[in-house]
Amino acid sequence: MTTADTNRRETAGASSRRFDSSGKFLKCEECGETLFVKELRDQYMVCSHCGYHFRINSEDRIRYIADPDTFRPMFRNLESCDPLDFAGRRKYSVRYEESRQQTGLNDAAVCGPCKIRGLDAMLCVTDSFFMMGSMGSVVGETLARATEYATDQRLPLIIVSGSGGGARMDEGVFSLMQMAKTSAALARHDDAGLLFISVLTNPTFGGVSASFAMLGDFIIAEPKALIGFTGPRVIKQTINVDLPEGFQESEYLRDHGQVDFIVPRSQLTDAIAKLIRYTNRSKAE
């Protein structure tokens, strides 16, 4: 490494710390540009220089999709248990409580009816800031209840997935059974002739991608979102084959028939509303 490279790294590190501590600037994780946070939030937390989509929490996600003051959260009183008294490096119960304190949520799924461009819908979001959006018993139960409510009320269902943790193995079989539970609820919703739009964000992995996330009538992904069952490093080590460039990015999945559309975050609300109107018109005809 040259002296110039070292100086650039040290300068970038110092700038990053300075901007992070002020809370007014944020460094893009993709291109390294320094961004004004207020402007970034107005731009849907998307870098204006390279289009990088920052991870956002469930509150911001709902604010960007639902019409103002129309979202009504449901099933907020559910809390996960610790059936295995799971320890690992740190006790599950401790990590779970830390996530509750940090996010203000009881678990990673936030669901409720709302309006999207004036259209009634059930909106569900998994929050990647709560234990990486992993699916435990409460996430599965919340999504299943929301789907059943959407079926009873004949509402289109939108689930925005952001799960880098997949199924939450700390809860053992109670977590794994949520894959079947959510899938069964979605099957009943489909049997009723209702619309399910699945939105995949970075990252969507594991038991989430192997169940409800890939069952949408329409599957939308954000640009360059990583989507799959397990990561490319593990796959490469298992099959001992070099993987194609961009493997598991949303663009690759679209080109290979696993994703229907790639939609930038700023256009997502209009895309969802258009699909709802289209399917309603088709049924009326």
Tell whether 63 and 50 lie within a shared domain: no
Helix residue ranges, H only, the chain: 3-22, 37-42, 58-65, 92-103, 137-152, 173-191, 206-209, 232-239, 250-255, 268-284
Looking at per-residue pLDDT, the higher value among 210 and 234 belongs to: 210
Alpha carbon dihedral 127, 186, 170, 259, in 10-degree steps, equals -60
The structural domain count of the chain equals 2
User: Which CATH number belongs to the domain containing residue 144 in this structure?
Assistant: 3.90.226.10
pLDDT at 124: 98
Tell me the pLDDT tens digit for each residue of 112-123.
999 999 999 999
Find where tokens 């969507």 sit.
204
pLDDT of 20 strictly over 50 = no
- The pLDDT score that the predictor gives to residue 10 is 36
Instruction: Based on the fold, state whether residues 149 and 248 are members of the same structural domain.
Output: yes
pLDDT digits (tens, 9 = 90+) for 72-112: 999 999 988 898 898 888 999 999 999 999 999 999 999 99
Residue 281: the pLDDT is 54
Beta strand pairing status for 196-200 and 218-221? parallel
Domain that holds residue 172: 56-284
pLDDT confidence of residue 166: 87
For residues 193 and 234, state if they share a domain. Answer: yes
Average pLDDT, the chain: 89
Q: Are residue 26 and residue 122 in the same domain, yes or no?
A: no
Q: Are residues 86 and 194 in the same domain?
A: yes
In this prediction the pTM is 0.87
- Judgement on whether residues 212 and 255 belong to the same structural domain of the protein: yes
Closest CA to 55 of 200, 203, 180: 203
Cα 187 to Cα 118: distance, rounded to the nearest angstrom: 26
Q: Are residues 71 and 5 in the same domain?
A: no
Report how far Cα 80 is from the mean position of its chain's Cα atoms.
20
Judgement on whether residues 16 and 118 belong to the same structural domain of the protein: no
Strands 109-116 and 119-126 come out as antiparallel
> pLDDT digit string (tens) for 149-170?
999 999 999 999 988 878 898 9
In this structure, are 173 and 267 located in the same domain?
yes
